[in-house]
Amino acid sequence: MFELPDDVLQIQQLARDFARKEILPGAQARDHSHTFPAALVTQLAEMGFMGMVVPEQYGGAGMSTLAYVVALEEICYADASVGVTMSVNNSLVCWPILAHGTEAQKQTWLPDLASGRKLGCYALTEPDAGSDAGAQRTKAVLDGDAYVLNGTKIWITNAPYAQVCVGYANLAPEERHKGVCAFIIDASSRGFNVGKLEEKLGITSSATSELSFENLRVPRDNLLGAERRGFGIAMATLDGGRIGIAAQALGIAQRAFDLAVAHARQRMAFGKPIGANQAIQWMIADMATRIESARLLTWRAAVFKDGADATRASHYCSMAKLAASETANFCADKALQIHGGYGYSKEYEVERLFRDARITTLYEGTSEIQRIVISRSYLG
Ligand code: CAA
């Protein structure tokens, strides 16, 4: 597949127009003031972008994963902080409810999440369960008609603004991942405590915080999937999440590339544009080649995810994330180099792109974790 279908091209154009007109102009200011883009999230929801693959019967836009990643790249071209807010709601919250929820759960939770009336967060990571996600220590105990949750989650994107949380807790921590359960949690419940906002290197206008669950009662009806099957849900959810982060990384990379080309054309040194030098030309060529490669992998993973054999998508999702996130860092670094001292200044957008790119090789699985997933699919 080398060309996007017409319906996806239309979504791409819609996202591009909105991103460049409405999101890009304020991105620097939001980054500097660390302002959460609440109004933009509302506008994205009105466009159907907060529940893109959720079928219309549950209030979503009913689009393909390919349309989702293409739109997300455009949003992240303008501002990766807005993009991750959208990505978490789509990939990590709507998707697991859609794929693993009961009919009643889908009807209860998806319309609000897809319409933007509610925002979602995803609580898996713990102080001692980052890359080793199976080491979940947040405890779940069944008590009558509810599970009682106690524990701490960290680095939770969207948490300070979320009304819904897809969260994980363990019935038997000594059995590691085999005791993990997935829950849909109402964030207004007593015992759902949001900690301080994290100060981050990049994506500063997205909101990240710790969560603590203190005797948090989650109704039995809110168990997502079967008891003790939560880890598989977490992993399958992250497959889709990783294509979302690949799209985010592509948006950052493409913006860095476009700024680098513009600067290389107009910046004069030694009587000619710096782009007339091979040192710059090679950087531009390498950036372009890596972006195109990573984009094709991302589209392929998205098509696989919607295909009949979606279980085979895992390693393609990891390949897409690995390639795109490393590309984002490469391109942001080269764009900064091409800008010289200007690139190091907060006045220039490449400085923000350089910081925003850095998270993409870390969250939703580091590059090292992606390599584990990829190599296991070949070596077992
Ligand atoms: N889909 C469904 N099930 C899967 C799966 C997948 N993609 N991958 C694994 N599983 C299942 C396995 O089949 C196995 O099931 P059984 O017990 O029934 O046999 C079970 O999960 C355990 O699998 P593994 O033995 O492979 O598990 P592991 O302990 O070796 O861990 C890992 C594998 C890939 C390293 C995993 O721990 C991992 O992905 N770690 C990274 C965690 C991560 O990405 N965290 C991101 C946090 S969220 C975030 O970052 C959001 C944000 O801020 C924006």
Q: Tell me: do 63 and 135 sit in the same domain.
A: no
- Any idea what the CATH number is for the domain that residue 159 is in? 2.40.110.10
CA-178 nearest atom, ligand 1: 17
Rounded to whole angstroms, what are the CA distances from 288 to 26, 245, 251, 253, 345? 27, 19, 13, 9, 24
Rounded to whole angstroms, what are the CA distances from 137 to 149, 184, 219, 227, 302? 10, 18, 20, 16, 32
Q: Tell me: do 98 and 126 sit in the same domain.
A: no
Neighbours of 190 (CB within 10 A): 9
The answer to whether position 304 is within a domain reads yes
Residue-wise pLDDT tens for the chain (380 aa)?
678 999 999 999 999 999 999 999 999 999 999 999 999 999 999 999 999 999 999 999 999 999 999 999 999 999 999 999 999 999 999 999 999 999 999 999 999 999 999 999 999 999 999 999 999 999 999 999 999 999 999 999 999 999 999 999 999 999 999 999 999 999 999 999 999 999 999 999 999 999 999 999 999 999 999 999 999 999 999 999 999 999 999 999 999 999 999 999 999 999 999 999 999 999 999 999 999 999 999 999 999 999 877 777 899 999 999 999 999 999 999 999 999 999 999 999 999 999 999 999 999 999 999 999 999 999 98
The answer to whether position 1 is within a domain reads no
Summarised one tens digit per residue, pLDDT across range 1-36 is 678 999 999 999 999 999 999 999 999 999 999 999
Report d(CA 77, CA 23) in Å as an integer: 9
Distance 186 CA to ligand 1 centre (A): 24
Domain boundary among 118, 148, 180: 118
Report d(CA 141, CA 294) in Å as an integer: 43
192 closest CA partner among 200, 184, 202: 184
| Cβ neighbours for 271, distance < 8 A, ≥ 6 positions apart | none
Copy the structure tokens of residue 221: 């009806």
Report d(CA 90, CA 62) in Å as an integer: 12
- 């925003």: which residue's tokens? 356
- Any idea what the CATH number is for the domain that residue 294 is in? 1.20.140.10
Summarised one tens digit per residue, pLDDT across range 206-228 is 999 999 999 999 999 999 999 99
Domain with 84 in it: 6-118
Query: What value does the mean pLDDT of the chain take?
Result: 97
| Cβ neighbours for 289, distance < 8 A, ≥ 6 positions apart | none
Report d(CA 156, CA 138) in Å as an integer: 14
Ligand 1 site, CB within 6 A: 84, 88, 122, 124-125, 131-134, 155, 157, 177-178, 231-232, 235-236, 238-239, 314, 363-365, 369, 372-373
Domain boundary among 118, 141, 162: 118
Catalytic residue chosen out of the listed positions 198, 347, 364, 368: 364
Distance 288 CA to ligand 1 centre (A): 32
Considering just the CA atoms, what is the radius of gyration of the chain in Å?
21
Q: Tell me: do 113 and 127 sit in the same domain.
A: no
Distance 237 CA to ligand 1 centre (A): 9
Q: Please state the domain count of the chain.
A: 3
Domain boundary among 212, 230, 248: 230
Q: Tell me: do 253 and 218 sit in the same domain.
A: no
Among 90, 136, 177, 305, residue to substitute to test ligand 1 (most atoms within 8 Å of Cβ):
177
- Any idea what the CATH number is for the domain that residue 26 is in? 1.10.540.10
CA-232 nearest atom, ligand 1: 3
Q: Tell me: do 110 and 128 sit in the same domain.
A: no
Q: Is 3 a catalytic residue?
A: no
Q: Tell me: do 33 and 167 sit in the same domain.
A: no
Extended strands (E) in the chain: 120-123, 139-143, 146-157, 164-170, 180-186, 192-197, 208-219, 223-224, 268-269, 272-273
Q: Which own/partner contact pairs does 200-203 have at CB distance under 8 Å and 24+ positions apart?
A: 200/359, 201/355, 201/358, 201/359, 202/80, 202/352, 202/355, 202/356, 202/357, 202/358, 202/359, 203/80, 203/81, 203/84, 203/355, 203/356, 203/359
Report d(CA 259, CA 236) in Å as an integer: 36
